[in-house]
A and B are shown apart, each in its own frame.
Chain A
Amino acid sequence: MRTRTQEKIIETLLKLAASITILTTIGIIGVLLYETIAFFKEVSIVDFLTDTEWTPLFAQKHFGILPLVSGTVLTTLIAIAVALPIGLTIAVYLNMYAPKAFRKTFKPMLEVLAAVPTVVYGFFALTVVTPFLQSIYPDLSGFNSLSAGIVMGIMIIPFVSSLSEDALYAIPKTLKEASFGMGATRFQTSFKVMVPAASSGIIVSVILAISRAIGETMIVAIAAGQQPRLTFDPTVPIETITAYIVQVSMGDVPHGSLEYRTIFAAGITLFIFTFLLNTVSFWIKKKYQEKYD
């Protein structure tokens, strides 16, 4: 009898531990909604979505989220423009061309890129990449989305390359052999057979990389500037949603003030973006999984 009660207690404890993850989700959504609702009592939601200026910390206050969104989208686009072609090429190369030993050594080595703390990348973007780009294009501002975006792209290369390589690896050998049997080269087999067959896995890897880039904070906070502006010019200072939250947190904004609430309104915007992307990737994974089993 004693062991039975003991078993029951242990199971309940373990269940409680697992339930903390649910509480976390409820907490995140609850906190964001609570503060955002209070925010929208003072600021009209139409202004928030359509105003083209974001100046909550100035005397002349504007609460248009668009400049922060454009900053986030711009740095993310630059990052993906770097990470997608390089990451996918690496995945195809490692899977179809590279000798086994090469793949075994270099895949984990590339993953080191994702283990480096992001503040280190921020330092690198500001002190190495920006001066380097300025030597090519002197008009480049000291803070800009180009440098931050490129470095962010380098950081997310392993997301694209490792997950895409996993997807390619999961394709049955018969497909590859059939293509070779027809006399196709490795290049043709890669891009006409393998990549299309692994497309769902590759798309998932890219979505996860985008989601990661949108939420990335320190690189943009250090290297992209703190000037929210509605522009797609990569050479001027901008501000992303995440960098704004950091900027306010570094300052001394009183709890409960409207300025304080802006970080939650910005936070919920960020959360909605990443939540949608994660849901889409989850859906694709579920729908196209086991297609070849």
Chain B
Amino acid sequence: MTNSQKNKLIDNAFKIFGVACTLFGLIILAILIYDILKTGLTRIDWDFITNLPSRRAQKAGIYTALMGTVWILFLTAIIAFPIGVGAGIYLEEYGKKSKWANFLEINIANLAGVPSIIYGLLGLEIFVRAFNLGGSLLAGSLTLSLLILPIVIVSTREALKAVPSSIKDASVALGASKWQTIWNQTLPASVGGVLTGVILAISRAIGETAPLIVVGALAYVPFAPSSPMDEFTVMPIQIFNWVSRPQHEFAVNSAAAIIILLLITFMMNGVAVYYRNKWQKKIKW
């Protein structure tokens, strides 16, 4: 075999290996989803969604966990959205070249790399103890808000950056103030990107388990929460609780709960991608 034939052979072998590797990840994902559907799908009915938790697997439902997740979703969105977008606007539009902004930027990059469980420790000492909020929904969503803040800030900046400076210059030239320009021109033009980032960040938040366990969310909550000060559990913690039990019936329950959690996560991701595409199509500079 000549050298060039040998090289060609290696080249083709790697090509096949590359396809195999790419498909490997997707096949695992398919097996994961198939296995969960096979185990849990028949367990899902209206009772499963509306029943309170129970020690008997057959009677147990996800109602309190689902309501906890919905509460967390909204509270986290309400807290993280204004702070994250505000910080993003400040960094992109105001403090661009200052030393302070540079420092903030490095700090945010670092925060994005802090493990989520560390945020749990922060929330435990500050929100649960120092602010005396206890293991409440509010303490949990404040903790998750800090966790997703770096993601919201970075995606807001990306979206603002995509607005061409000609739009801003035109607005300023017509006599608009800096904030008027941002509020009336830059933000409306970048709303799709901003929303995409926020939705993705929140979908990450509702999949989080560890920080909420540390903050003191409970594995067993008899009633659905009715105010931000109530104790709570969320879907991932309910799943974790069921997975940790040896009986097969609880594994079935956790698979069923996973289906619902994945539905929520994928739906939010889908909405985010849809928004992004729509926004990119509509605005062609």
Contacts and interface: CB of A to CB of B under 8 A. Distances in A.
A119 B86 contact: no
Given A22-B104, A255-B129, A126 B122 contact: no
Interface residues of A, number: 84
Contacts of A214: 115
Interface stretch (B50-58, B90-98, B225-233): B90-98
A186 B19 CA distance: 15
Contact of A116 (B26, B101, B109, B262): B262
Contacts of B262: 116-117, 120
A165 to B, nearest CB: 11
B173 interface: no
B239 A267 contact: no
B210 interface: yes
A187 B207 contact: no
Interface string A188-231: 10100000000000000000100100111110011000000000
Interface stretch (B41-49, B161-169, B190-198, B212-220): B212-220
Interface string A243-259: 00110011000010000
B269 interface: yes
B91 to A, nearest CB: 6
B157 to A, nearest CB: 11
A236 to B, nearest CB: 19
A282 B106 contact: yes
Nearest to A15: B90
A187 B11 contact: yes
Contacts of B129: 255
A120 B258 contact: yes
Contacts, number: 253
Given A18-B86, A90-B18, A24 B116 contact: no
Contacts of A188: 7, 11
A179 interface: no
Interface in B101-138: 101, 104, 106-111, 113-122, 125-126, 129
B115 A21 contact: no
B175 to A, nearest CB: 11
B203 A115 contact: yes
Contact of A120 (B26, B121, B204, B261): B261
Contacts of B261: 117, 119-120
Interface in B212-267: 213-214, 216, 219, 236, 239-240, 243-244, 251, 254-255, 258, 261-262, 265-266
B209 A119 contact: yes
B159 interface: no
Interface in B165-199: 177-180
B15 A93 contact: yes
B110 A218 contact: no
Contact of A277 (B87, B113, B204, B209): B113
A91 B126 CA distance: 42
B18 A250 contact: no
B2 interface: no
Contact of A93 (B18, B28, B111): B18
Interface of B: 7-8, 10-11, 14-15, 17-19, 21-22, 24-26, 28-29, 31-32, 35-36, 39, 82-84, 86-87, 89-91, 94-95, 101, 104, 106-111, 113-122, 125-126, 129, 146, 149-150, 153, 177-180, 203-204, 207-210, 213-214, 216, 219, 236, 239-240, 243-244, 251, 254-255, 258, 261-262, 265-266, 269, 273
10 contacts: A90-B22, A119-B209, A120-B262, A188-B7, A217-B209, A222-B240, A242-B115, A246-B117, A274-B115, A275-B113
5 A-B pairs with the lowest CB-CB distances in the bound complex, closest first = A215-B115, A93-B18, A117-B207, A17-B86, A14-B90
Interface of A: 3, 6-7, 10-11, 13-15, 17-22, 24-25, 27-28, 31-32, 34-35, 85-86, 89-90, 92-94, 97-98, 106, 108-110, 112-113, 115-124, 126-128, 154, 157-158, 185-188, 190, 208, 211, 214-218, 221-222, 242, 245-246, 249-250, 255, 263-264, 267, 270-271, 274-275, 277-279, 282
